[in-house]
Structure formats: C-alpha cells, structure tokens
C-alpha cells in the first residue's frame, strides 16, 4: 500500500525511507564475508547472494555444515536469511525466494522441486502475477502446464527463460564479486548509542565480516582499528593489537568487548568503522593426530590479547634473553609475542631475586634456613661489566637444600667475599 494509506491506518507508524546505496553497500560487505566459503560469489541485487560451493564441500565438511555455518554467522550479524541449494544458480535462487529448505542434489530433481513454488518466486512484474492468478496459476508447476507459445506471447520470453535456466536448459553467465585488497567497513547506527552493549552488537556485524574476508584470503592481521563517530565531538579511535596474527571472529569480538568496557564514551555514537591493519598470510591450524590426548595447553595468546585490551599494550610485556653474562642484565622487556633472543646454554633459575640475599657460612659451607647446602654443580665463573663500572667477579654453584629444593648461589670474589643466594630453580 502507499505510505499515506499506511499512516491513515496507523497514525503512530514508525517508518523510514529506503536507502538503496546503503543496501548495496551492505550486500557488498556480505559478499566479502561470503568469500570464506568460496571465491565464486556473485551478487543478486538488491538482497541476494549466489555462492558456488561445489569445490568447497570436502574442505568445509559437506553442504549441511556449510548451510548451518552460513545461518549462524548471518544470525550473529543480525540478518535473517532464506537459503536454497541446487545444482544451478537460478534453481537455488528460486528455492530461496520460495522459502523451500530442501537440498536438491541433481538436475533431474529440479523440475519436481521448483514446481510447488509460488509464481511470486519468479522475477516478474506485479501485473504479470495478477494475470497469472486470474487464470488460476498459483505455482511454477501450473505455469509449466500452459502452452509455451502462449506464455511467451502474453508474458514475454524472459519468464520462460528463468525457468529454463533454473533447470539447466539454458546457460547463465555470472560475474563473480572481486574482494578489495584491504578491509574497511562502516556501519551507521539507527540512533545515537550510549551503551556499550549496543555498540558491541553493531561491532560484531563488522567483525564477523572482517573474519570472513580474512578467511577468503587465507590471511590474518596483527592489529585493527575501531573508530566511533560522534556528533559534535572528534571521533574516538581505538587501536587493537594482537600477540599473533589471527582471523578468528571470536577473538576480535572478545577484544572489542574488553576495550569498550574499559573506555568511557565522550559522546553518543552515531556510526562505527573498522579497518584492518596489514594483511598477513596465515596458514590454517595444525590438528592433533590423536584427538584423545589428555594434555591440553592454555590459549596464552587469547589471555595476553585480553590483558592488553583491558590494561593497555604498555602494561603487558614479555621477556627475552640478552647477550650478557651478568644475570642482572641478561634479560630485557619486549612486546608480547615478539621473537625472543637466544637463552644462555648454562642452566639458569626461573626465579631470579631482585637483589642477591647474603647466606650464612659455617665450617666453610653456605647455609640456608638453618641447614647446610650441598653443592651439586659448579663453579661457573662470571667476570664481566668492567666497561660500565658495574663489574662483577663471582663463582656460581647449583646447590641443594636439606628439603631437596634447588638454588642458584654464588661466592663473591670481590671485596670481602661471602656467599649469596641469587635464584631458585624450584
């Protein structure tokens, strides 16, 4: 009905004008996301996508798993969908428009599966639909029973060509969508948003699309930028960095949730934009040969990513060995995930005391907690640091306590000598 008629029936009707450009941009972003399932994606404006997935069946676990994944991802992005699956693109499109959930496995079954579909599934004018209903044709099967010459004269050849293409009698050439070389997507919000939960829902749509884009290129990213657009205030830009390249949507969403929770909005948000950083080639995960193994390591990368998102990247550091003999200077701080240097070959304790602790000496033997220490390895002589005024001359030993703990101790060869505890092995 017309807008005026609708407003007369519902005076409080909340309506909005369609935005064809925004719809086309949304369809284009979905085509980029769909590249994770197949590189052969074509647009069916204004609201459809066609995916040729035959080459991806073995890789992605079969057609049922692909359809389930598509439904799940679209629901996570806030979209509803109707899916059709058939050997030809036009038949799949008719099944989707007709609301059929059947999977047609071969061409000889197409005719029987599309016959019950309503004629409204065909791409034809409203006048054509009214005329077909006036003569008692409600389904595609009923249309096929009419004489082809009469249908072509009255409704045009295109109506029959649609059905012939669906059944594979006519070829159909399609232009595949070409994804961009980098990812950047923007989403205008329906209203000014002041709550983090609503922002996360909107961001999830863009992040899942970014994960699909990266999957289509077998790539990952080290960082991405989330920009919040405000009215009357400068945009808020959040640089989110990851320890290692990834393309997992779950990690992207978790990091944005933590970052938004730790940030205060300076003004209501009208739109948001996500831009991917440098695109890096990323191989798939290596699976275990024996799935029943019991030892499962923690996902340290996810933990470090979340800590950086909540505390800031400068609050989380890694450690790396340094080419230095003096234990106090043999390490340095580094960004998490960066390549570490080479550790010394000699055994070193995991726990190094910030300041060496003096030990008692009795009968020429060092004592710890009122018990003598047994020297089980050493000495390892370290003489270094004369060039910067912090030189040391020490003989290091590995010692065992009466309770069988292992310590790292040394005997000072400068000044008055003496024994010192410098580290604990465990």
Query: In sequence order, which residues have a C-beta less than 8 Å from that of residue 366 and are 6 or more positions away?
Result: 359, 360, 372, 373, 399, 409, 419
Between 196 and 298, the higher pLDDT residue: 196
Between 269 and 362, the higher pLDDT residue: 269
pLDDT for 234-249, tens place per residue? 999 988 888 778 888 8
Measure the CA dihedral 298/299/304/309, to 10°: -130
User: Which range among 69-83, 244-258, 406-420 has the greatest average pLDDT?
Assistant: 69-83
pLDDT for 58-103, tens place per residue? 888 899 999 999 999 999 888 999 999 999 999 999 999 998 888 9
DSSP string over 286-314: PPPS-TT-------HHHHHHHHHHHH-GG
User: What confidence score (pLDDT) does residue 291 get?
Assistant: 47
User: What confidence score (pLDDT) does residue 222 get?
Assistant: 84
Calculate the CA 4 to chain-centre distance.
Answer: 45
User: Which range among 48-57, 259-268, 277-286, 321-330 has the greatest average pLDDT?
Assistant: 48-57
CA distance 10 to 238: 43
Q: Indicate the helix (H) or strand (E) that contains 113.
A: helix 110-114
User: What confidence score (pLDDT) does residue 369 get?
Assistant: 82
Asked if residues 40 and 176 have their Cβ atoms less than 8 Å apart, the reply is yes
User: What confidence score (pLDDT) does residue 319 get?
Assistant: 74
CA distances from 360 to 28, 47, 255, 365, 421 (A): 75, 81, 51, 8, 10
User: For residue 46, is the peptide bond before it cis, meaning its omega torsion is within 30 degrees of 0?
Assistant: yes
Mean pLDDT, rounded, for 386-390: 76
User: What confidence score (pLDDT) does residue 426 get?
Assistant: 67
pLDDT for 324-359, tens place per residue? 777 877 777 777 766 666 666 677 887 888 888 888
Q: What are the tokens at 123?
A: 């791409």
User: What confidence score (pLDDT) does residue 124 get?
Assistant: 86
Q: Residue ranges of the alpha helices (H) in 192-338?
A: 196-216, 249-261, 300-311
In total, the chain counts a number of residues equal to 426
- Phi, psi at 146, each rounded to 5°: -75, 155
By three-state DSSP, how is residue 250 classified? helix
Cα Rg of the chain (Å, integer): 34
Beta bridge partners of 419: 359, 411
Reference 251, options 220, 288, 281; nearest CA is 220
CA distance 351 to 55: 54
Domain 184-281 CATH (choose: 3.30.1490.100, 2.60.120.920, 3.30.590.10, 3.30.300.30):
3.30.1490.100
pLDDT for 189-224, tens place per residue? 878 888 888 888 889 989 999 999 998 888 888 888
Asked if residues 213 and 183 have their Cβ atoms less than 8 Å apart, the reply is yes
Q: What are the tokens at 136?
A: 């008692």
> Mean pLDDT across the chain, nearest whole number?
85
Please report how many Cα atoms fall inside a 13 Å half-sphere around the Cα of residue 250, on the Cβ side: 3
Residues of the chain with CATH 3.30.1490.100: 184-281
Q: What are the tokens at 377?
A: 């390895």
């Amino acid at each position: 009905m017309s807008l005026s008629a609708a407003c007369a029936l519902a005076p409080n009707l909340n309506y909005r004008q369609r935005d064809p450009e925004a719809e086309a941009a949304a369809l284009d972003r979905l085509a980029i996301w769909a590249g994770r399932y197949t590189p052969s994606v074509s647009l069916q404006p204004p609201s459809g996508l066609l995916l040729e997935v035959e080459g991806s069946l073995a890789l992605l676990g079969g057609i049922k798993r692909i359809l389930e994944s598509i439904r799940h991802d679209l629901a996570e992005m806030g979209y509803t969908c109707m899916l059709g699956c058939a050997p030809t693109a036009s038949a799949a499109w008719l099944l989707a428009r007709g609301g059929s959930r059947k999977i047609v496995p071969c061409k000889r079954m197409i005719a029987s599966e599309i016959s019950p579909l309503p004629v409204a599934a065909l791409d034809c004018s409203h006048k054509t639909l009214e005329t077909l209903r006036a003569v008692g044709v409600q389904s595609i099967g009923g249309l096929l029973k009419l004489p082809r010459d009469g249908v072509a004269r009255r409704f045009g050849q295109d109506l029959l060509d649609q059905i012939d293409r669906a059944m594979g009698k006519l070829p159909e050439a399609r232009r595949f969508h070409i994804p961009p070389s980098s990812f950047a997507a923007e989403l205008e919000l329906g209203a000014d948003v002041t709550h983090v939960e609503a922002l996360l829902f909107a961001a999830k749509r863009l992040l899942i699309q970014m994960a699909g884009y990266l999957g289509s290129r077998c790539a990952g990213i080290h960082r991405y930028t989330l920009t919040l657009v405000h009215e009357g205030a400068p945009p808020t830009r959040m640089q989110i960095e990851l320890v290692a390249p990834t393309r997992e949507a779950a990690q992207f969403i978790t990091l944005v949730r933590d970052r938004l929770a730790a940030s205060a909005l300076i003004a209501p948000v009208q739109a948001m934009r996500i831009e991917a950083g440098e695109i890096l080639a990323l191989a798939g995960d290596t699976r275990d040969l024996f799935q029943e193994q019991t030892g499962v390591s923690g996902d340290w990368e996810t933990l470090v990513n979340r800590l950086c998102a909540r505390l800031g990247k400068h609050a989380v550091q890694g450690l790396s060995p340094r080419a230095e003999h003096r234990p106090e200077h043999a390490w340095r701080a580094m960004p998490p995930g960066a390549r570490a240097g080479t550790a010394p070959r000699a055994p070193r304790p995991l726990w190094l005391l910030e300041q060496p602790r003096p030990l008692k000496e009795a009968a020429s033997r060092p004592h710890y907690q009122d018990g003598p220490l047994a020297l089980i390895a050493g000495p390892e002589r370290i003489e270094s640091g004369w060039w910067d005024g912090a030189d040391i001359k020490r003989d290091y030993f590995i010692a065992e306590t009466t309770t069988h703990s292992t310590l790292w101790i040394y005997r000072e060869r400068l000044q008055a000598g003496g024994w010192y505890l410098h580290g604990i092995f465990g």
